[in-house]
Amino acid sequence: IPLMRTTTRCTCIKISNQPVNPKSLEKLELIPATEFCPHVEIIATMKKNGEKRCLNPESKAIKNLLKAIRRERSKRSP
13 or 69: CB nearest a copy of itself:
69
Torsion angle of alpha carbons 21, 46, 43, 64, nearest 10°? 10
Query: Of these, 40, 51, 60, 64, which contacts a copy of itself (CB under 8 A)?
Result: 40
Binding to a copy of itself by residue 28, rule CB under 8 A? yes
Residue 23 is classified by DSSP as G
CA neighbours closer than 13 Å in the CB half-sphere of residue 34: 12
Judge whether 13 and 6 are in contact, CB under 8 Å: no
Query: Quick one: 18 or 70, whose CB is closer to a copy of itself?
Result: 70
Give residues in contact with a copy of itself (CB under 8 A): 22-23, 25-33, 38-40, 57-58, 62, 66, 69-70, 72-74, 76-77
